[in-house]
Amino acid sequence: DMIMVFGTADGNAREAARRYREQYPDRRHPDHKVFLRVVNRARAEHMQRQR
């Protein structure tokens, strides 16, 4: 869900955190740094799979 929200925020981590809070009010609300870590980890794993 976090990566999808990040995509709808055009890669803006602060906007993604805000949208996530609005879209999922009953969940824990990660800050923008968590979004950046999750996306960077997903990108790194994707790059390793391509090798």
Residue 23 Cα to chain centre, angstroms: 13
pLDDT tens per residue, range 1-51: 999 999 999 999 999 999 999 999 999 999 999 999 999 999 999 888 877
- DSSP classification of residue 37: H
pLDDT of residue 20: 98
What is the spatial distance between Cα 20 and Cα 51, in angstroms, rounded to a whole number?
Answer: 33
Quick one: residue 11, left, alpha or beta (phi over 0 = left, psi -120 to 50 = alpha)? left
